[in-house]
Each structure stands twice: as C-alpha cells, then as structure tokens.
Amino acid sequence: MKLKKLLVILPILALMCACGNKNVLRENLKDYPYDKYLSKVASADTKKEAKEAALTEIKNIFATLPADRQSQARRDNILSLAKIAKIWKVKQDDKKRYYAMAILERKPAMEALQPYYTGYDAKIQSLTGKLNEEPDKFVRIKYALQMEELLKDRNPLDEEYKILSYDATPYNEELLYNARAAYNRAFYEVKISSKITGDDQETIKTPIIESLNTLGFQVGENLPNADIELVMKVYVDKYESKTTQGLNWCTSTATVNLKDLATGGIFATYSKTEREGSIRKETAQLRSLVAAGQDAALAVKQKVLDYLERK
C-alpha cells in the first residue's frame, strides 16, 4: 500500500510544480486518475506548442530503457495511443500561459503490448514442461540455459509492461513463476564440491562460491555425491618495490582445476595472477586477492556453464 500511495503522490507533486494551478490539476486528476492513466503536463506560449510539449513528455516514459529498432517500433505503436486530454490557460505576470495534459490509458496500452509476448511465452511454457519431465539432470541444465536466454530476451517487454502497469504486476505472472521454479530446480540438482587451499584463501573463495550460488548450484566443501569437483590453490607473494621507496607489491595467484567426478576427467583449468601496490603491505595484499578472486569467479562460473552446455 505504501508503494502505491507513493506512486500516486509523486506524479501529483510533479504536475503541481509544472502548472502551478492546483485547482485545475485536482479536477484533471479526478477525470484521469493515476491508477488508470499515465499523464504528463507541459506549458508553452501557444496551445500548439503546449500540446506538442505534453505529448513529447508522455512519449519519453520509455526513455530510460535501452532500445533497438524492434523495441522502438513496438514502443512507438503503444505510444500512438497517447492523446491530449485537456488544454487550459493560466495568467502569470500579466501574461497568458497555455497548459496541456497528455494521457495514455493504461489498460489499452498494456493490451497493445500483450501480443508481443505470444512467441516468447509459448516457448517458455514448452521448456517448462521439458524441465519438469526430463529425468536426466544434465539435459535439464541444457533446457534451463535455453530458458535463461528466453527470459533475457523477454525482459525488455517486462520493463515496458512494468511502466504501463499501475502496480508493476508482471504479465502472465503464473507462467513466469512456474518457469523460474523449474529453472531453479534444474541448477539446484547439480552439486559442486570445493577444495580450496593456500594463502588467505577465504578472500578468493568467497566470490567464487557466491557466483556459483547465484546460479543455484549446491556448492560446499567435500560435498557428498557431487557432480563436479573444484580444486583451487592460492599463492601470495609480497615484496618491496626496488625502484620506489615505501611502495609494497603483492601478487596473488589462483589456479583452478574443474573435474567431472563421474568420469574422473578434468574438463577445465584456470590460472590468473593479479598484482597490486600500496604503501601498506596489508592493503596491497587485500587488493590483489580481491582482484584475483573476482577474475576467478567469472572464469569458473563460465567454464562450468560451458561444460554443462556441451556435456
């Protein structure tokens, strides 16, 4: 409830600041309430300019979203439903100023967006069925990765629908819930056992484990019945600069082997060294470990996904 109230109050305040005519504004909002209409007000010296400015304002509602040719054509189609609802004039400093209120009715705009979902949602529903029925967990991962791409491609539609919707409820919410539940189950059924040793390994271990957890994998040290083993060693080398007095260097190296425990074969290796300098030895060490950990996290995550996709 608080969020909805805030969504209503903010545009009201903005419009009040824009036109300075509270009585007119209140009457306009009675006729075009915010839960049913998106509205923008603009002013100019002439009626024509005020109308054009108001329509430009409402056509900017998607301006914060990235656009390509396809999405821009879709948004132009939706925004063609916008119209001028009211024009009025206000006397300011012995001059007449014209105001225009442009509106976009939410329901027709959302209905105009819905046909664009058809192709995506049919494929998502089909993949959800396959994820729920497939007995092989590695085949399920392949389906899940396809699902991820579909959801990613669908996301621009969701962002547009969220703007048009009063309460930001996603389109076809039940389908999305079922799809994401099946996606999450697929990743959760794959277990990764980690063995991380060496100097100050916690700093590097944390981002790697977190990156795999974000996908939904079960990750833990010496995890029983695991599918993949992650073996990593961390080496830290600290030394003083030979050319700059007071400067301390630290290099941190992470070496990784990823093994398929069912076959016993190592399917990926990785090694990366990061060097950082600082006046303080502890700072140089921390910076180099953090940098090495971030690089390793991205690399390990991608290597695991690549292997499971081709497995």
Tokens 């079960």 belong to: 218
Q: Determine the Cα–Cα distance for residues 276 and 262; give it in Å rounded to an integer.
A: 39
What per-residue string of b and e applies to 258-282 under the rule 16 or more CB within 10 Å gives b? bbbeeeeeebbebebebebebeeee
What is the per-residue pLDDT across 98-141, written as a single tens digit (0 to 9) for each? 999 999 999 999 999 999 999 999 999 999 999 999 999 999 99
Copy the structure tokens of residue 148.
């991820």
Task: Report the sign of the C-alpha dihedral through residues 287, 288, 292, 295, in that order.
Answer: positive
pLDDT at 1: 40
Lowest mean pLDDT among 5-14, 70-79, 270-279: 5-14
pLDDT at 202: 87
Q: How confident is the model at residue 16 (pLDDT cuts 50, 70, 90)?
A: very low
pLDDT at 171 over 50: yes
Tokens 């040290």 belong to: 221
Which residues touch 97 (CB under 8 Å, ≥6 apart)?
Answer: 43, 44, 45, 89, 90, 91
Residue 33 falls in which region: left (phi positive, over 0), alpha (psi -120 to 50) or beta: beta
Share of the chain above pLDDT 90, in %: 78
Average pLDDT, the chain: 89
What is the per-residue pLDDT across 176-224, written as a single tens digit (0 to 9) for each? 999 999 999 999 999 999 999 998 888 988 999 999 999 999 999 989 9
Q: Determine the Cα–Cα distance for residues 185 and 177; give it in Å rounded to an integer.
A: 12
pTM flag (> 0.75): yes
Q: Determine the Cα–Cα distance for residues 158 and 185; give it in Å rounded to an integer.
A: 23
Q: Which residue has the higher pLDDT, 123 or 97?
A: 123
Q: What is the DSSP letter of 169?
A: P
pLDDT at 25: 67
Tokens 């903010």 belong to: 10
Question: DSSP 3-state assignment of 181?
Answer: helix
Tokens 């999405």 belong to: 71
pLDDT at 23: 66
Residue 88's DSSP bridge partners are 99
